[in-house]
């Protein structure tokens, strides 16, 4: 390839990484003048148009490029990107997969020092990023995880490597994983992290001092985690604790409600992990609680610097973080019972076990809640409606087979699947194909798109079916609060016992089962008893409101007792 042309391509790639489409367009013009027949300038122009949201322009340019050069790599990249951005998953996924495979093959024939090697690497990285998002939306977290692991291995900086690997760890939660395997995978995160932890040698070791508790999260906003935050920020004992919140994400009306209490609020958006850690340390935080784990926009790169002498993870994530600077993981006696050393061995952190739930459902600060439907749908429909409003990436083929078995044994019953995958035509097509392969009677399955009134739509559901091994969290709480019983299966790990903890603490332990056979049996048993379904729908909300799951005062007493216990231990032992 012409050396001058390659230089312009490399500069365009740099502008793309820096988020500068204007610079990309300038490079595109130079490439067009140098060699219009190569279509490289048009491809850069199309990519820049895609980044500025001008997908029509990008698509028009792509069609022109691929008509002249059907195998043009960057032209195919932009085409895949357009499809991915427009959620045309059935076209985006094969296009981007083929592109990754071809670039990988071409790279293998070159030396890393070759100038074209880097150009191929850029295309492959960009394609893998879009492919990851498309696979996840298509409910293929295993495929998305493989792409993220590949991105981590080829990342140019430690920061990028850690980010990709963190997202890979998150994707692993969607499918069954051995406890030892999970532990080793989490532990590897420390190997890709670059952080110099604070030592806190000067921390005042006063066991009964008024403690400064810090909560750090990107999700102090409309988000599943926000349903569990109000007790932490509103119900703490102000005579013994001071609360600081460190927000790293965007804000909305929920943020305003959450920050209205007697707390100190810090906005860390745009700060580097090192700077954010320094600001937290300067506040003199005694115990810092990470609420994100390896979820989107993770704050673990900040906690890796150990800005507080005692650090805890929990609530927003269900598995070990693998961060050496995090001392404890917040759990409870249902998720990780005392004496169950097997499940606890999957954590790099020491386990804090609360006697009841390790989180408290407090939805009122997030949204106005509709009335629960007092009459079960079966009583007016004459047939039972099962439902799942969970992220469909949590639904394995094994779980679908259990659902089919339930439908087969409850006469005339129907299944409602509601979620983002049902909001796009290609997603519905992918879902129907999966159901057909598993011999579902499609006429008995309704696919509903996501909608703001999803809580009200629980009035159409008789029985909710939880997923495994990745249980529902806020989704399960919402179903219960709307009067809908939820069937869940207790697994072997903390994450796969999340649903069991919610149901036990909501006072409906009879809805927790131990294996596949009993999952189907319990759903069929309840499904064939309209009177029992009616009893759940008429009384469940009132019972949940009085249960430990929503007892904010009792929850905070248990949580603050745990904070005091780990602080005393730090004072005694220094760790």
Peptide bond into 469 cis (omega under 30): yes
Please check whether residue 371 lies inside any domain of the structure.
no
CA distance 206 to 533: 54
In terms of domains, do 39 and 143 share one?
Answer: yes
For residue 290, which of 272, 271, 315 has the smallest C-alpha distance?
315
Buried b (16+ CB within 10 A) or exposed e, 417-454: bbbebbbbebbeebbeebbeeeebeeeebebbeeeeeb
Question: What pLDDT score does 113 carry?
Answer: 85
In terms of domains, do 396 and 341 share one?
Answer: no
Please check whether residue 188 lies inside any domain of the structure.
no
Question: What pLDDT score does 332 carry?
Answer: 98
In terms of domains, do 394 and 472 share one?
Answer: yes
Please check whether residue 309 lies inside any domain of the structure.
yes
Please check whether residue 11 lies inside any domain of the structure.
yes
CA distance 425 to 415: 19
CB 243 within 8 A of CB 224: no
Q: Which domain-ending residue is among 116, 150, 172?
A: 172
In terms of domains, do 253 and 302 share one?
Answer: yes
In terms of domains, do 354 and 313 share one?
Answer: yes
In terms of domains, do 282 and 336 share one?
Answer: yes
Please check whether residue 200 lies inside any domain of the structure.
no
What's the CATH number where 394 sits? 3.40.50.2000
Please check whether residue 372 lies inside any domain of the structure.
no
Distances from the Cα of 532 to the Cαs of 206, 374, 376, 518, 527, in angstroms? 54, 13, 10, 18, 9
Structure letter (DSSP) for residue 533: H
Please check whether residue 179 lies inside any domain of the structure.
no
In terms of domains, do 73 and 14 share one?
Answer: yes
Q: Which residue has the tokens 């390790």?
A: 358
What's the CATH number where 231 sits? 3.40.50.11380
Total domains in the chain come to: 3
In terms of domains, do 64 and 139 share one?
Answer: yes
Domain hosting 71: range is 3-172
Backbone angles phi, psi at 354, to 5 degrees: -80, 150
CB 77 within 8 A of CB 127: yes
What's the CATH number where 99 sits? 1.25.40.10
In terms of domains, do 143 and 239 share one?
Answer: no
DSSP secondary structure, 214-275, as one string: EEEES-SSSSGGGGGTHHHHHSS-TTTEEEEEEE-S---HHHHHHTTSS-EEEE-TT--HHH
In terms of domains, do 147 and 73 share one?
Answer: yes
Please check whether residue 430 lies inside any domain of the structure.
yes
In terms of domains, do 295 and 323 share one?
Answer: yes
Question: What pLDDT score does 1 carry?
Answer: 55
User: Along the 575 residues of the chain, how does pLDDT read in single tens digits?
Assistant: 577 888 899 999 999 999 999 999 999 999 999 999 999 999 999 999 999 999 999 999 999 999 999 999 999 999 999 999 999 999 999 999 999 999 999 999 999 888 788 889 999 999 999 999 999 999 999 999 999 999 999 998 999 999 999 999 999 999 999 999 999 999 999 999 888 899 898 888 999 999 999 999 999 999 999 999 999 999 999 999 999 999 999 999 999 999 988 999 999 999 999 999 999 999 999 999 999 999 999 999 999 999 999 999 999 999 999 999 999 999 999 999 999 888 899 999 999 999 999 999 999 878 888 888 789 999 999 999 999 999 999 999 999 999 999 999 999 999 999 999 999 999 999 999 999 999 999 999 999 999 988 999 999 999 999 999 999 999 999 999 999 999 999 999 999 999 999 999 999 999 999 999 999 999 999 999 999 999 999 999 999 999 999 999 999 999 999 999 999 999 998 66
In terms of domains, do 498 and 443 share one?
Answer: yes
């Amino acid at each position: 390839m012409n050396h001058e042309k390659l230089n312009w391509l490399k500069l365009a790639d740099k502008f793309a990484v820096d988020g500068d489409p204007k610079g990309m367009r300038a490079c595109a013009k130079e490439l067009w003048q140098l060699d219009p027949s190569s279509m490289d300038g048009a491809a850069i122009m199309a990519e820049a148009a895609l980044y500025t949201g001008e997908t029509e322009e990008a698509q028009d340019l792509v069609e022109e490029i691929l008509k002249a050069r059907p195998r043009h790599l960057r032209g195919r990249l932009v085409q895949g990107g357009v499809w991915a951005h427009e959620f045309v998953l059935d076209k985006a996924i094969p296009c981007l997969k083929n592109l990754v495979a071809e670039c990988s093959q071409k790279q293998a024939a070159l030396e890393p020092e070759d100038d074209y090697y880097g150009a191929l690497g850029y295309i492959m990285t960009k394609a893998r990023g879009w492919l990851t998002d498309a696979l996840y939306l298509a409910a293929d977290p295993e495929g998305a995880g493989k792409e993220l692991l590949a991105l981590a291995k080829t990342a140019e900086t430690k920061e990028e490597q850690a980010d990709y690997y963190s997202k890979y760890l998150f994707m692993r939660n969607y499918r069954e994983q051995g406890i030892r395997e999970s532990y080793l995978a989490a532990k590897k995160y420390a190997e890709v992290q670059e952080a110099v932890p604070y030592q806190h040698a000067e921390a005042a070791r006063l066991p009964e001092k008024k403690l400064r508790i810090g909560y750090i999260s990107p999700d102090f906003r409309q988000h599943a985690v926000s349903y569990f935050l109000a007790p932490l920020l509103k119900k703490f004992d102000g005579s013994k604790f001071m609360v600081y919140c460190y927000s790293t994400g965007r804000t909305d009306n929920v943020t305003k409600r959450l920050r209205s209490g007697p707390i100190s609020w810090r906005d860390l958006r745009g700060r580097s992990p090192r700077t954010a850690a320094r600001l937290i340390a300067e506040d003199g935080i005694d115990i810092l609680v990470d609420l994100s784990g390896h979820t989107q926009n993770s704050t673990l790169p900040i906690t890796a610097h150990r800005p507080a002498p005692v650090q805890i993870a929990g609530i927003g994530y269900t598995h070990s973080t693998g961060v050496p600077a995090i001392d404890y993981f917040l759990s409870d006696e249902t998720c990780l019972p005392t004496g169950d050393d097997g499940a606890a061995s999957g954590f790099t952190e020491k386990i804090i076990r609360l006697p009841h739930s390790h989180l408290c459902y407090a939805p009122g600060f997030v949204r106005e809640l509709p009335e629960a439907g007092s009459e079960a749908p079966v009583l007016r429909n004459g047939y039972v409606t099962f439902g799942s409003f969970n992220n469909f990436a949590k639904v394995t083929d094994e779980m679908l087979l259990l659902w089919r078995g339930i439908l087969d044994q409850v006469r005339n019953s129907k299944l409602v699947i509601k979620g983002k995958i049902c909001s796009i035509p290609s997603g519905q097509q992918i879902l129907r194909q999966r159901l057909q392969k598993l011999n579902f009677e499609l006429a008995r399955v309704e696919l509903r798109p996501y909608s703001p009134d999803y809580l009200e739509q629980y009035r159409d559901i008789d029985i909710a079916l939880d997923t495994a091994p990745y249980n529902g969290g806020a989704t399960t709480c919402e179903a219960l609060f709307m009067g809908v019983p939820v069937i869940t299966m207790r697994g072997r790990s903390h994450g796969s016992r999340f649903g069991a903890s919610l149901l036990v603490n909501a006072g409906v332990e009879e809805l927790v089962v131990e294996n596949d056979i009993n999952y189907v049996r319990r759903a069929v048993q309840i499904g064939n008893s309209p009177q029992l379904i009616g009893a759940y729908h008429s009384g469940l909300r009132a019972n949940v409101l009085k249960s430990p799951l929503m007892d904010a005062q009792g929850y905070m007493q248990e949580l603050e007792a745990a904070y005091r216990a780990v602080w005393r231990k730090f004072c005694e032992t220094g760790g």
